């Protein structure tokens, strides 16, 4: 269980989050929507304690991790794997080395096992043929797939976190990435791996998520399913999701 309790956070005296309350199971498929600067990506960073709130609590499986020291965060962080916006691959490493990085850093597997795992993960995301390519030799879609592969190699997470995974991609490639995201979170609760996707792309959100949050002025002003989302009477939210409306 994930719980964010009355979280408040300001950057340079500007309030970004203003009393966020949120509960979710790890098997849920959630989209966080909102205009730029509304704190969507900040929520992902808070779940990993990459940033700390000014006040409030972050509780993961009953444990308050809000202000734990870095040395005690590994157990909770291993429940998640994050794919940052633009992929954030290591430019100086090829695809094989990018995906193998965490296996080499955090496991004691021999090189033969690491090679096997890397190829298996790349096969799962559909880019095994790119194993020897450098990031600047990949298309935008392949870079996102490589980034997803690297995040999967770090651990077997209970939940995937995606920060704008389809931004800057053409419609066909964006659709392919959405399909991959769905494949990695297939099945039924409670066994399936859940996801939280932060996105401006409401059509991509509708393809992968079952629950939708909308942030406005630092607060969650909508929390519900797709039917409720498309029936909302909130004029700002209706404008934001206009692509989904009849």
> Are residues 63 and 162 both part of a single domain?
yes
Whether residue 145 lies inside any domain: the answer is: yes
Q: How far apart are CA 98 and CA 143, in angstroms?
A: 11
Task: Give all strands of the β-sheet with 194-198 in edge-to-edge order.
Answer: 80-83, 159-163, 194-198, 29-33, 211-216, 219-224
Domain boundary residue, one of 156, 186, 207: 156
- Over residues 115-152, the pLDDT tens digits come to 999 999 899 888 999 999 999 999 888 898 898 888 88
Asked if residue 58 is part of any domain, the answer here is yes
pLDDT digits (tens, 9 = 90+) for 177-216: 899 899 889 888 888 999 999 998 899 999 999 999 999 9
In a domain, 130, yes or no: yes
Quick check: is 84 in a domain? no
Residue 57 confidence (pLDDT) above 70: yes
- Cα–Cα distance, 116 to 103 (Å, whole number): 11
Instruction: Return the pLDDT at 86.
Output: 63
Number of DSSP helices (H) and strands (E) in the chain, helices first? 9, 10
Same domain, 179 and 220: yes
- Whether 223 and 136 map to the same domain: the answer is no
Looking at the structure of the chain, the number of domains it has is: 2
Determine the structural domain holding residue 136 and report its residue range: 91-156
Please indicate, yes or no, if residue 203 is contained in any of the structural domains: yes
Q: How far apart are CA 90 and CA 87, in angstroms?
A: 9
189 and 232 both lie in a single domain:
yes
Kindly list the distances between the CA atom of residue 63 and the CA atoms of 1, 191, 192, in Å, as whole numbers in the listed order. 10, 21, 22
DSSP type of residue 78 = T
pTM of the model: 0.89
Strand duo 55-60 + 2-11: pairing: antiparallel
Q: Is residue 107 located within the same domain as residue 213?
A: no
The mean pLDDT of 34-54, rounded to a whole number, is 92
């Amino acid at each position: 269980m994930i719980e964010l309790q009355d979280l408040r956070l300001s950057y340079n005296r500007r309030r970004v989050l203003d009393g966020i309350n949120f509960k979710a199971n790890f098997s849920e498929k959630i989209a966080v929507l909102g205009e730029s600067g509304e704190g969507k990506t900040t929520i992902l960073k808070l779940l990993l304690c990459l940033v700390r709130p000014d006040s409030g609590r972050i509780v993961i499986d009953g444990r308050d991790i809000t202000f734990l020291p870095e040395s005690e965060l590994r157990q909770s962080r291993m429940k998640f794997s994050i794919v940052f916006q633009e992929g954030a691959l290591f430019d100086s490493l090829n695809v094989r080395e990018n995906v193998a990085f965490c296996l080499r850093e955090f496991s004691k597997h021999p090189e033969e096992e690491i090679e096997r795992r890397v190829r298996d993960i790349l096969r799962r995301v559909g880019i095994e043929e790119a194993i020897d390519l450098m990031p600047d030799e990949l298309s935008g879609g392949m870079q996102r797939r490589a980034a997803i592969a690297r995040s999967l190699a770090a651990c077997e997470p209970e939940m995937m976190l995606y920060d704008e995974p389809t931004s800057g991609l053409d419609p066909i490639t964006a659709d392919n990435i959405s399909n991959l995201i769905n494949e990695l979170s297939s099945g039924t609760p409670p066994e399936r791996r859940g996801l939280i996707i932060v996105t401006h792309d409401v059509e991509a959100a509708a393809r992968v998520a079952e629950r939708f949050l909308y942030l406005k002025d630092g607060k969650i002003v909508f929390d519900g399913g797709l039917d409720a989302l498309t029936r909302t009477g909130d004029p700002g939210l209706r404008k934001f999701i206009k692509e989904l409306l009849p």
